[in-house]
Structure 1
Amino acid sequence: MNTTSDRSTSIAEDILRGVGGPENVESLTHCATRLRFQLHDGEKVDREGLDALSGVMGTVPQSGDRFQIVIGGAVAGVHSQIMNLPAMADDGAPRPQTDAEVKAAIRAKSRGRFAWLDSFFEYLSDSFRPLMGVLLGASLIIAIASVLDALGMVDFRAEDKSATWVFVDAMWRSVLYFLPIMVAFNAARKLQIDGWVGAAVMAAVMTPDYIGLLDGSTPGVTCTTNELLGTEQCIAQVFGLPMQLNDYGGQVFVPLLMVALLALVYKGLQKVFPANVQLVFVPFLAMLVMIPVTAFLIGPLGIWAGNGLGSGLAWLNGNAPLVFAILIPLLYPFLVPLGLHWPLNALMLQNINALGYDFIQGPMGAWNFACFGATAGVLLLSIRHREAEMRQTATGALAAGLFGGISEPSLYGIHLRFKRIYPRMLVGCLAGGLVVGLLGGVDTSVFAFTSLLTIPVFDPMLTYVIAIVVAFVIAMVLVFVSDYRTPEQRAEANAARDAAEAATAETVAAETAAAGTATGETAAAAAPAEERELATVGAPAAAGDAAETADAAGAPGVDRAGTGAASTPGADDIVIASPVAGRLVQLDDVSDPVFASRALGQGVGIVPADGRILAPADGVLATVAKTGHAFGLLADGGAEVLVHVGIDTVKMDGEGFDVRVEQGQSVRRGDLLAVVDLDAVRAAGYETVTLLTVPNTATFAAVEPAPSAEVVGGDTAVVVRR
């Protein structure tokens, strides 16, 4: 990811120098494939130098000091990089939206019925997501130690471990114990206040001096024993008031509650004090208020909630074991994000000490493996859709879960980010818990992480194995079948993936050309052409660039000559229909040199007989040009389809184009996309020929255009061979 970012920045700087520097730029916009510069002096452009850049497909000088640079599908990213350069900012160039702002806008469009619930999950997710790396690192250390423990090489739970293993414990406990401080920092930043103030408030009740009060030796501190949990509860007299003392290590619910209140206090203080003294007084007074509030009220509230939950579960297991076996795996997905599951660990240990066995860990395993199953479903989808970052995340989280019994990497790194996962995971939890309850329950005589390595400690083992397999498989299948992204999110993710892949292909093609393998595509793209804008799916121009390279090298099945040699479609082929009635022609007969060169993929042109533009295939509309002249479709089966109505019709600014669909909308073949006033197009002096291409031609075995002939909307225009 960093390499791509650095490369884009370098291209941005080179392009800005090539057009004469920021002082020569009057304005900069972009269409779907080109940067559009309005310059002060067009003579200052180093066109030869720009054409030589690996990220530039061609340049198109125009009248009136206007200048176009053909980038392809990565144009939006390059445009943003240029606009974000300090030199452009100094010259008053408008700053585009950041990635975070764009994502926030997308999330706002997909919000559910209850906005407060969406905000709540976003608060949780953004408070934990930055911790993904350290959580995963800690969990993998635990997984290694668990393997050694299962093999009998070390007693991972012994109280008299050697200094070596005490140190190993410190390596992972550093993350889990101080998690409240980290969460407080992230939560504060999420609510747009000073993160260090949030961290400092939480750290105040985790210092050695505070923890030292728990031994009961300090004057003014009294301790009592909780008979159910077998733990001590200490009360200290502070300022003459009773303050419940707790060890907040690993507590997450407390910092989340605390920061929510801190944000109100902090922002209230900002309104009171002038900006020039806020640095001194706002953090000071916020800490002065919130540290006592946390120690006296919020902290004990979180602990009381956890302890009360533990007592209730003990009663429930004794009176309604079947309900208990189902309830535990259904509750855990909501307890873990809030940190309320930690008190249950004390109850598990108390059960082992008092009864000789524990009844919580068995049904809890159903939740864990449903969680891991959902992660496995995400991993399979990431492989299917070639999502490298998610594949890496899911692989690490799944390994930490299956071998270490750690659900946090899956939960915080994946599940809380995508709301579609939770309902499907809960079905797996329910099924696994139901198996445990119906088969008589599962006990264990030791405290263990519920992983593959600890299966032998559960009794009866067969019941436990059946339960976790059922939970795992059901959650995995449901996530895989229905996807963890909405159709709109999937279209966006696939488009981003294709852009990245196309950028890589573009680099490879440039290196090949430098080595002496002529592809001819740069010359085609650089040929002077009228001003035009092309709607794309992902990175069509760049993908088409790669397709042209393969085509020039003799890729099988690509009808380069434009003879229209498409044959009967096979069962695995993708059929792309004509989007409009009229006369089908080959791309070689189209006057636009970029389309004719196949730089935007193989396809056909249709001289339209009417203005009804139809969807050429089933899929999702990833791009709908605001001017209504172009549509990018992610067709079922993986083909990207570009429908471009007319040549240079972007200049009509939507006049005569009645768009009937929206970006992100799912369509079926034959659905009406737009109604175009062809007479208005001709009156404006533009050609009406409608272009239909497959920008990711290079990813298929062949893309075959139909023979030139009269067609009606829905007739086969292109056959994509897999």
Structure 2
Amino acid sequence: MDATTMADAILAALGGAGNVRGVTHCATRVRVDPAESARVDVTALARIPGVLAAQVVGDRVQIVVGPGRVEAVSGAVRRGAGSATAPAHRGRLSARTVGVLVDVFTPLLPAFVAGGLLTALHNVLAGPGVFGDTAVIDTLTWLRGPVALVGLVGAAVFALLPVLLGFSAAGRFGGSPYLGAAMGAALVAAPGLTADSALPAIHLTPETGWVIAGVDVLAIDYQGTVVPIIAICFVLARLERFFARRTSGSARLLLVPLLTLLTTGLLAFLVLGPALRFLGDAAAQGMEWLYTGAGVLGGALVGAVYSPLVVTGLHQGLIAIELGLLSTGGSFIFPIAAAANVAQAAASLAVWLCARRGTRLRALAATATAPAALGIAEPAMFGVTLRLRVPFLIAVGATAVSAALLAAWRVEAVTLGAAGLLGFASIAPGSVGPFLACLAVSMLLSFGGTLAWARWRRRRGRPIDGEDPRRSGDETAILSPVAGRRVAVESLADQAFAASALGPTAAVAPESGLITAPVAGTVSAVAATAHAYGITTDGGTEVLVHIGIDTVRLNGDGFRPLVRAGDRVAAGDPLARADLDAIVAAELDPVVLTIVTEAGARTFAPIDGETRVVAGTPVLGPVGSPENI
């Protein structure tokens, strides 16, 4: 039974859509606030295919459907009831922002790595001063055409970045990826299409502007930008859902894409794009003011903000300033960009050395290091350092120190080039030595800091790749995520949990608020209220860690997530911290439940043992394993 069919049956058992005042969900169950509890048929709810259990707690109906379906079913019930009372996602804004960026960029990493390497190869062969006073293509003229083609293929990835980001971001926000790609294409294609006579209605001569509502649409270049298209796709996804809810049948197929692109396009070109591009230009001008007015301190501050600007794409606003600086003598931006790129390369190299062989993280670090060292840092940032967070911050700090030295020595570039190890070819005569020394400082600090951090994690049993060779793959036991006292599952106050409706369950009354991973795998879900975490092992086993009973009522208060969806964890890695006193003060049970919600062909059962357990004690195991014999 699909989510929509389930929702129709659930609404009927609830007494109709008019009897629903609000719908929310936690990690496992749909929670409904009925207008009249007497109209709810709990028995009928429990008989619906796909419903694992149903119960009334206080004035709220709880419908257990499991972690794999709860979001879809909850959304379908909400749409059917005409309710929009879903809880807002909580958590620190910075963590959520980084999470969104990583989610959007991760599928694009292969294109970034390939484009970065091709662009770096082009820069090496086409840049003067790399292997002498003349470029390789000037010495070997027969290479000019092939090198140009290599550069075209590599540069296209970044020049048309909004198209790729549009596809990925729209999907991330729940919209059509193809509409997102179409919107990204409109952003980057507008200048070229308006100059092409193939479309007479929009044909403009190069010197003619296109002013609508006071905005010169063609004056804004979106090539290589990041934030505008992500923000636009955020709006696009919501507009698409808005129009989909108000149409049906063949009209939906025709009108939803049309209205979505039309309204999003107007907002993109007239509001969102200009506003965000203005912010980018303002940031660039602020950096110039800092550097010229605050000396060494200004250099350090500019170095500290450069990489975050690259993450958001706002560094594109620096191009105009850099061209102006070059026309008047020299640019401070290029040397700082080179220091930032090699810092990211050094951090990525340290991660490569510390990650285990065969892990995806090691492979990403190996392929991202060289492009970053040669001036293309996006693969290293989005694939390695930003994902791990701490290496990114270490690289930012190393860049700040290097940038302060660059400012002290007044190192400037006299031409554009590859902002990396080969950037010395663009530096003013007499400053090449200090430039290389500053790059060395940036690399050593970033490499050393990241290496020390990775080794510190390893000593604490938390390798950076999140994989423990003893507990990866098809584990033989599910471990307790907390230290405490075993609790008989059947004694739990919650009927669904007591009946193990979601799957084999172990319960522990915790002694501390540190919650750790019971298995190695990938974090597949983090509840919006941070009280439940899903992990999928490499073997396909799905495990749910649920902190407390009915703690969704706290709306996240007292819970601090330490991971996000998509993170790789080893058994024993921290998942969250819970304020047990706050849970108890709210008169809720803080018991921590470990549930195998999907085990494939295997059957799990509780493992007997001492009443008191420590974190890492096996509590669930496959039937027939040594622990259960």
**Which residue matches 2:495?**
none
2:397 is aligned with 1:457: no
* Aligned-partner SS, 1:464: helix
2:210 is aligned with 1:257: no
Alignment partner for residue 325 of structure 2, among 337, 346, 351? 351
2:262 is aligned with 1:291: no
* 1:263 Cα deviation from its structure 2 partner: 2.0
2:436 is aligned with 1:443: no
**Which residue matches 2:153?**
171
Q: Which amino acid aligns with 2:233?
A: V
* Aligned-partner SS, 1:207: helix
* 1:141 Cα deviation from its structure 2 partner: 1.2
* 1:185 Cα deviation from its structure 2 partner: 0.8
Paired residues of 1:386 and 1:497 also in contact (CA < 8 A):
no
Question: Residues 218 and 361 (structure 1 numbering): CA distance in 2 closer, same or farther, change over 3 Å?
Answer: farther
Question: Residues 303 and 634 (structure 1 numbering): CA distance in 2 closer, same or farther, change over 3 Å?
Answer: closer
* Aligned-partner SS, 2:416: coil
5 Å-filtered alignment, 1:272-287, equals 272-274=246-248, 277-287=251-261
Q: How far does the alpha carbon of each residue in 1:492-524 deviate from its partner, in whole angstroms, 9 at most, with x for none?
A: 832368646xx9xxxxxxxxxxxxxxxxxxxxx
5 Å-filtered alignment, 1:532-681, equals 534-535=476-477, 653=606, 657-663=610-616
2:299 is aligned with 1:330: no
2:368 is aligned with 1:397: yes
**Which residue matches 1:719?**
none
5 Å-filtered alignment, 1:172-251, equals 172-207=154-189, 211-213=193-195, 235-238=209-212, 243=217, 245-251=219-225
Distance 1:256 1:114 in 2: 20
Distance 1:235 1:298 in 2: 19
Distance 1:394 1:242 in 2: 42
Q: How far does the alpha carbon of each residue in 1:139-189 deviate from its partner, in whole angstroms, 9 at most, with x for none?
A: 111222222232233469xxxx96554433321122111110100110011
Q: Which amino acid aligns with 2:165?
A: V
Distance 1:406 1:172 in 2: 11
Number of matched pairs: 416
Q: Which amino acid aligns with 1:424?
A: I
Distance 1:213 1:497 in 2: 62
Alignment partner for residue 385 of structure 2, among 412, 415, 424? 415
* Aligned-partner SS, 2:188: coil
Q: TM-score if structure 2 supplies the norm length?
A: 0.57
Q: Which amino acid aligns with 1:409?
A: P
Distance 2:122 2:151 in 1: 9
Distance 2:377 2:215 in 1: 39
5 Å-filtered alignment, 1:97-136, equals 114-136=91-113
2:454 is aligned with 1:483: yes
Paired residues of 2:298 and 2:404 also in contact (CA < 8 A):
no
Q: Which amino acid aligns with 2:123?
A: S
Distance 1:535 1:145 in 2: 52
Question: Residues 296 and 674 (structure 1 numbering): CA distance in 2 closer, same or farther, change over 3 Å?
Answer: closer
* Aligned-partner SS, 2:224: coil
Decide which structure has the larger Cα Rg and report it.
1
Q: Which amino acid aligns with 2:337?
A: M
Distance 2:136 2:362 in 1: 32
Distance 1:651 1:222 in 2: 71
* Aligned-partner SS, 1:281: helix
* 1:134 Cα deviation from its structure 2 partner: 1.2
Q: Which amino acid aligns with 1:199?
A: A
Q: Which amino acid aligns with 2:409?
A: G
Distance 1:214 1:123 in 2: 36
Q: Which amino acid aligns with 2:104?
A: S
Paired residues of 1:182 and 1:199 also in contact (CA < 8 A):
yes
**Which residue matches 1:574?**
none
* 1:124 Cα deviation from its structure 2 partner: 0.7
Q: Which amino acid aligns with 1:180?
A: P
Distance 2:454 2:249 in 1: 48
Greater CA drift, 146-155 or 251-260: 146-155
Paired residues of 2:193 and 2:203 also in contact (CA < 8 A):
no
**Which residue matches 1:559?**
none
Question: Residues 204 and 456 (structure 1 numbering): CA distance in 2 closer, same or farther, change over 3 Å?
Answer: closer
Paired residues of 1:370 and 1:471 also in contact (CA < 8 A):
yes
* 1:651 Cα deviation from its structure 2 partner: 9.9
Question: Residues 114 and 219 (structure 1 numbering): CA distance in 2 closer, same or farther, change over 3 Å?
Answer: closer
Paired residues of 2:161 and 2:225 also in contact (CA < 8 A):
yes
Distance 1:240 1:426 in 2: 39
2:371 is aligned with 1:377: no
* Aligned-partner SS, 2:273: helix
Paired residues of 1:306 and 1:340 also in contact (CA < 8 A):
yes
Question: Residues 281 and 470 (structure 1 numbering): CA distance in 2 closer, same or farther, change over 3 Å?
Answer: same
Paired residues of 1:221 and 1:237 also in contact (CA < 8 A):
no
Q: Which amino acid aligns with 2:256?
A: V
Distance 1:348 1:199 in 2: 30
* Aligned-partner SS, 2:210: strand
**Which residue matches 2:523?**
none
Paired residues of 1:658 and 1:674 also in contact (CA < 8 A):
no
Distance 1:265 1:488 in 2: 46
* 1:388 Cα deviation from its structure 2 partner: 3.7
Q: How far does the alpha carbon of each residue in 1:519-558 deviate from its partner, in whole angstroms, 9 at most, with x for none?
A: xxxxxxxxxxxxxx95379xxxxxxxxxxxxxxxxxxxxx
* 1:480 Cα deviation from its structure 2 partner: 1.9
Distance 1:241 1:417 in 2: 37
* Aligned-partner SS, 2:211: strand
* 1:350 Cα deviation from its structure 2 partner: 2.0
Q: How far does the alpha carbon of each residue in 1:277-308 deviate from its partner, in whole angstroms, 9 at most, with x for none?
A: 43322211101101121111222223222222
Paired residues of 1:372 and 1:410 also in contact (CA < 8 A):
yes
Distance 1:395 1:651 in 2: 39
Distance 2:68 2:219 in 1: 47
* 1:490 Cα deviation from its structure 2 partner: 3.5
* Aligned-partner SS, 2:466: helix
**Which residue matches 2:14?**
none
* 1:654 Cα deviation from its structure 2 partner: 5.7
Alignment partner for residue 121 of structure 2, among 136, 139, 144? 144
**Which residue matches 1:555?**
none
User: Between the two proteins, what is the percent identity of the paired residues?
Assistant: 21
2:240 is aligned with 1:269: no
* 1:191 Cα deviation from its structure 2 partner: 0.8
Q: How far does the alpha carbon of each residue in 1:59-111 deviate from its partner, in whole angstroms, 9 at most, with x for none?
A: xxxxxxxxxxxxxxxxxxxxxxxxxxxxxxxxxxx99969xx9xxxxxxxxxx
Q: CA RMSD of the aligned region, Å? A: 4.3
* Aligned-partner SS, 1:495: coil
Return 5+ residue gaps in structure 2 as ranges.
1-64, 73-88, 480-515, 521-534, 536-542, 546-569, 574-602, 620-625
Paired residues of 2:227 and 2:314 also in contact (CA < 8 A):
yes
5 Å-filtered alignment, 1:283-322, equals 283-322=257-296
Q: Which amino acid aligns with 1:398?
A: T
Distance 1:198 1:329 in 2: 33
* 1:443 Cα deviation from its structure 2 partner: 0.8
* 1:423 Cα deviation from its structure 2 partner: 2.5
